Amino acid sequence: MLTTSAIHDRDNEDEYKMKMVTLPDGIGVPALGQGTWRIGEKKSAHADEVAALRLGIELGMTLIDTAEMYGEGGAEKIVADAIEGQRDRVFVVTKVYPHNASHTELPRACERSLKRLRIDTIDLYLLHWREKNTPLAETVETFEKLRATGKIKRWGVSNFDVDDMKEIPSIENGQNCATDQVLYNLENREIESGLLPWSLKNEIPIMAYAPVGHGRGLLENATLKKIAKRHDATPAQIALAWVLRQPGMIAIPKANNEEHVRDNACSTEVKLTKEDFTQLDQEFPPPKSKQPLPTL
Ligand SMILES: NC(=O)c1ccc[n+]([C@@H]2O[C@H](COP(=O)([O-])OP(=O)(O)OC[C@H]3O[C@@H](n4cnc5c(N)ncnc54)[C@H](OP(=O)(O)O)[C@@H]3O)[C@@H](O)[C@H]2O)c1
């Protein structure tokens, strides 16, 4: 099985390099990060949740995604403890509720997130999803003001479909949108029919959430298990390697279990073959209107 000990057994550990994705402003971030949904909800889980994130950071998954919504701020506090003493190594992504995305509420929500995260600046601040009550141009303008004051380094969006994304370049400073964080895994390939080709063409990376299908039925799939066996890997590693096959793609699996964290960190080692892709396409068919994907 692909384990982190295999990484550490190498003669030259420096050879192990995390695949990087370049954001539109030129900064490189690890293609494989960590999610935090459903953490920060129970006091009793605090130490384990912090330890899991710290282990992930140690293993190179130094991009951490969170949101003011997760545990109503609880997840951001766990992230704060996990990055304590190593803030500079970590790329912190958090998200604002759409009902806090107006020019009056967004700076306040940002301050609250900064305080919970115990940091001076957010590396990437995302609009969690779109609601029509605040015009997108108002949110973008406020993101830009936060960027100018150094409260955030860059901004992006989440759960935007291709039509939403097409609107962004027409908004002033819309070209600064750093990513769209969306659902993407073997069972949910809808973005391949529009959003993914558009993003590749416009060089806006996609951040895939639920890349291991929320850890549910997907990982029990017989084809996935068969391919995993062939690679001496786990189904989750195959699922992640499949998501990360795509250029400009970031994946943010969430794992509390130490074994899962180690598993996920090693998924970048898996090299899927043509035969694997064919079998995965048969088992998890791409959307019918799939367009040919350009490369970044
Ligand atoms: N923007 C949005 O609207 C949105 C929506 C959903 C999620 N997200 C973000 O994306 C992140 C990931 O999505 P998600 O948490 O919904 O789903 P996910 O990462 O696909 O799945 C997480 C589940 O899978 C399990 N798991 C992780 N690695 C595993 C492995 N190697 N083997 C077996 N099981 C494994 C975890 O178990 P353990 O915890 O027990 O290890 C957990 O139950 C979230 O945490 C959040 O940061 C964003």
Q: Residue written as tokens 């995305």?
A: 101
Q: Residue written as tokens 């299908």?
A: 213
- Residue 17 pLDDT greater than 80, yes or no: no
Cα dist from 30 to 6, 59, 119, 257, 274, whole Å: 20, 11, 20, 21, 25
- Residue 7 pLDDT greater than 90, yes or no: no
Cα dist from 107 to 29, 68, 97, 102, 139, whole Å: 25, 13, 12, 9, 10
**Best residue for ligand 1 mutational test, from 161, 180, 212, 221 (most atoms within 8 Å of Cβ):** 212
**Average confidence (pLDDT) over 50-72:** 98
Give the three-state DSSP class for 243: helix
**Structural contact between residues 218 and 187, judged by C-beta atoms closer than 8 angstroms:** yes
What DSSP assignment string belongs to 78-93? HHHHHHTT-GGG-EEE
Phi, psi (deg, nearest 5) at residue 238: -70, -45
| Mean pLDDT for all residues in the chain | 93
Beta strand 28-30 with 20-22: parallel, antiparallel or unpaired? Answer: antiparallel
Confidence of residue 288 (pLDDT cuts 50, 70, 90): confident
What is the pLDDT, as a whole number, of residue 8? 38
Nearest to 123 by CA among 94, 148, 102: 94
Residue nearest to atom 47 of ligand 1 (CA): 35
Q: Is the CB of 36 under 6 A from ligand 1?
A: yes
> Ligand 1: distance of its center to the CA of 275 in Å?
27
Confidence of residue 15 (pLDDT cuts 50, 70, 90): very low
> Ligand 1: distance of its center to the CA of 172 in Å?
34
Burial class for 23, CB neighbours closer than 10 Å (0-12, 13-18, 19+) = buried
- Of 12-26, 171-185, 201-215, 249-263, least confident by mean pLDDT is 12-26
CA 226 remoteness from chain centre: 27
Nearest to 98 by CA among 45, 56, 160: 160
Domains and CATH numbers, the chain: 23-283 (3.20.20.100)
Say what the pTM is. 0.95
**Average confidence (pLDDT) over 167-172:** 96
- Residue 295 pLDDT greater than 80, yes or no: no
Confidence of residue 290 (pLDDT cuts 50, 70, 90): low
**Average confidence (pLDDT) over 69-84:** 98
The ligand 1 atom nearest the CA atom of 129: 3
- Residue 141 pLDDT greater than 50, yes or no: yes
> Ligand 1: distance of its center to the CA of 144 in Å?
30
Cα dist from 104 to 122, 132, 151, 246, whole Å: 19, 16, 15, 38
Confidence of residue 293 (pLDDT cuts 50, 70, 90): low
